[in-house]
Amino acid sequence: MAITGQSAAEIVDSVRAEVRNGALEPGQALPPVRELAARLGVNRNTVAAAYKRLVVVGVAETRGRLGTLIREPAAPGPREGAAPDSPLMDLASGNPDSRWLPDPRVLASALSGQPRLYGEPPVSPRLAALAKRWFQDAHCPDPVLSVTHGAVDAIERLLGAHLVSADPVAVEDPCFLSSINTLRLLDLRPMGVPVDGEGMTVDGLRQALASGARAVLCTPRAHNPTGCNLSAGRAAALRDVLAEYPDVLVIEDDHFAPLSRAAYQPLASSRSRHWALVRSVSKCFGPDLRLALMLSDEDSARRLGLRLASGTTWVSHLLQDMVACCLESRTVMARVIEAAADYQRRRDNLSRVLREHGLCPWDGDGLNLWVPLPGPAAPVTAALARRGWLVRDDRPFRLADGDGALRVTISELEPETARRFSEDLARVLAAG
């Protein structure tokens, strides 16, 4: 193996390159610290720090007397989505109700017949003008608008543009599945901040920042999986904490914006130098319209633009025009309002019948309901599956151990189905 480098970061990069090209395989031991330090002519502490970072980012693992070994590649984490081949009633998908989404054939028929060529503005002027209404409740300092291939794409590009391998990122715990997967993909280190009914806890965020978090990723409302919304008081307290760390990147994933009954509460402080507010169209116009609008500071927009410039990987103007059609359509936007009310009725109904059985689901917003349990969730989900129900338990969303809970998708849940599910869940819990 040809490991090189004079600093810990260079040694880490060299080892990762050797893993990528196959020179280092899973299970293969790295040289002892003393041996590699002598070969490279560096202090042993430099090699030890490099090995520690390789363990943190999941490239290597320590095995006592066996030393430091290259790890097996991590399996892809769980993702959102329906289970079409499952015979169970799917309450786990996290999907919106397709009946409320606009017909893509209608949107396509409204497209301009003018082909777009290289050199067009990356952001359609038509969409940029409409975006002002989309962000009318966001009072950001000197905002710059960008368009990305969805919220996950925006978050991944922002983190990749601002951070380096092994940097810690403060995220909610429990956390959105795609956020966990994105951090793993980028070799970033998630630092869980507990959430309660009002959002991220102040003490949790303060501790993460004091421990070196270089970025904060937060969902200001309709947090997935819990559904909690940032209250005005909690948001103000979090901004006060972030004001002490102006160089920390603050990303707000406001994915449920046009459907939420809660007012938007900004997280970024007025002193934050690097910030972004991301709003995707997935929940209101459909997940297959791979587009998100983003306001950010000028530097973050510039870094993002290096990867989304016209002529490289800009977001299709066909998609931008289809989203513009949605925003311009009174019919489409009226259905968004109807959908918001429908989702809230379904949430409230399931919450009510669960409370009748002695359970205490969280209040909030979104397509999912968080149901705390008196014990571990795994045996409960297994027992519910035997009764014909598919739900997610809390474990995939956790960064640290926590009390058991279920996440139940409510978007298509009819009242009678909600009643039967609640009765079956109560029977499972009573049976122990």
For tokens 């513009």, the residue is: 324
Question: What dihedral do alpha carbons 100, 102, 104, 107 form, nearest 10°?
Answer: 180
81's tokens: 């989505």
Between CA 265 and CA 243 the distance in angstroms is 16
Selection from 118, 213, 145 nearest residue 173 by Cα = 213
359's tokens: 């359970």
| Backbone Cα Rg of the chain | 23
Identify the architecture of domain 116-328 in CATH.
Answer: 3-Layer(aba) Sandwich (3.40)
Instruction: Give the angle 18-21-24 at the CA atoms, nearest 5°.
Output: 45
pLDDT for position 298: 95
pLDDT for position 310: 58
DSSP string, 54-67: HHHTTSEEE-GGG-
Between CA 319 and CA 321 the distance in angstroms is 5
End-to-end CA distance of the chain: give it in Å, rounded. 54
How far CA 415 is from CA of 182, 316, 369, 381, 423, in Å, comes to 36, 40, 15, 21, 12
Residues of the chain with pLDDT under 70: 1, 57, 74-77, 309-312
pLDDT for position 277: 98
pTM for the model stands at 0.85
Selection from 361, 355, 357, 337 nearest residue 410 by Cα = 361
Selection from 16, 97, 114, 37 nearest residue 282 by Cα = 97
CATH superfamily label, 89-98+332-430: Aspartate Aminotransferase, domain 1 (3.90.1150.10)
Number of C-beta neighbours around residue 403 at 10 A: 12
pLDDT, one tens digit per residue, over 128-170 is: 999 999 999 998 888 999 999 999 999 999 998 899 877 899 9
Average predicted confidence (pLDDT) for the chain: 92
CB 418 within 8 A of CB 353: yes
Q: What is the CATH number of domain 8-70?
A: 1.10.10.10
**Do 116-328 and 8-70 have the same topology in CATH?**
no
pLDDT for position 416: 98
Selection from 1, 67, 2, 55 nearest residue 29 by Cα = 67
DSSP string, 267-314: -S-TT-SSEEEEEESHHHH-TTS--EEEEE-HHHHHHHHTTS-TTTTP
Which residue ranges make up each domain of the chain? 8-70, 89-98+332-430, 116-328
Query: Three-state SS for 251?
Result: strand
